[in-house]
Amino acid sequence: MTQRKNKVVIFLGPPGAGKGTQAERLAREGGLTKISTGDILRDHVARGTELGRRVKPILDAGQLVPDDILIALIRDRLAGMEPVRVIFDGFPRTTAQAEALDMLLEELGAPVSAVPLLEVPDEVLIERIVERGRQAVASGQTPRADDTEEVARKRQQVYREQTQPLIDYYGGRSHLRHVDGVGTMDEVYARIMGTMP
């Protein structure tokens, strides 16, 4: 049996681009652990932990959680993982976070393998996010606090201002893979798989 190698995939793309759905499938089929800082933070909010109480107002306002909190969460998640086989969904979001993550991965001897960038037009994104909120209500669930048009538009703006430099950062390291994020889930997944090393 061959030993599994380290593999680190970072999904980039605006909120609503389908990163979570595609990352889950790639994790399942590729034997990787999906790490979503958003999921971890929402879990802390739901459980009412000290961290959850600190980040709830930040998340509700559509703002980004401070880097030191996120890096500590990730360091904790990767501790003892051997080999390191992960997909990051929604992290990093800034160049400072990417640099901190690179340093952490270097310590672990697990450099970034690929960075698929899901590209979807703004209006399609807003429509998807609002629809996700509608579906939650229709199925008797509480929609996510950020599944409203107002918060969605604010998050798109924050994404453009703060995350755009990441595209340059990973592009300069030849990790970036442009992926058309419009189409069926299977079509988009096939495009992502076509970019994997």
Q: Could you give all domains of the chain from N- to C-terminal order, each with its CATH number?
A: 7-181 (3.40.50.300)
C-beta separation of 35 from 89 below 8 A: yes
4 is annotated as contributing to ligand binding: no
Condensed to tens digits (0 to 9), the pLDDT of residues 116-133 reads 999 999 888 888 888 888
> 81: closest CA among 10, 38, 32?
32
The mean pLDDT value for 36-57 works out to 87
The mean pLDDT value for 38-53 works out to 87
The mean pLDDT value for 142-149 works out to 81
Range among 75-79, 156-160, 191-195 with highest mean pLDDT value? 191-195
Secondary structure of the chain in the HEC alphabet?
CCCCCCEEEEEECCCCCCHHHHHHHHHHHHCCEEEEHHHHHHHHHHHCCHHHHHHHHHHHCCCCCCHHHHHHHHHHHHCCCCCCEEEEECCCCCHHHHHHHHHHHHHHCCCCCEEEEEECCHHHHHHHHHHHHHHHHHCCCCCCCCCCHHHHHHHHHHHHHHHHHHHHHHHCCCCEEEEECCCCHHHHHHHHHCCCC
- Which of 25, 34, 85, 155 is an active site residue? 155
The overall pTM is greater than 0.95: no
105 is annotated as contributing to ligand binding: no
154 is annotated as contributing to ligand binding: no
pLDDT tier for residue 3 given thresholds of 50, 70 and 90: low
State residue 87's pLDDT score: 94
Is residue 163 over pLDDT 60? yes
Is residue 1 over pLDDT 70? no
The reply to whether 93 belongs to the active site is yes
Mean pLDDT score of the chain: 88
pLDDT tier for residue 2 given thresholds of 50, 70 and 90: very low
- Which of 19, 34, 177, 191 is an active site residue? 19
The reply to whether 34 belongs to the active site is no
The reply to whether 191 belongs to the active site is no
C-beta separation of 157 from 166 below 8 A: no
The mean pLDDT value for 12-27 works out to 89
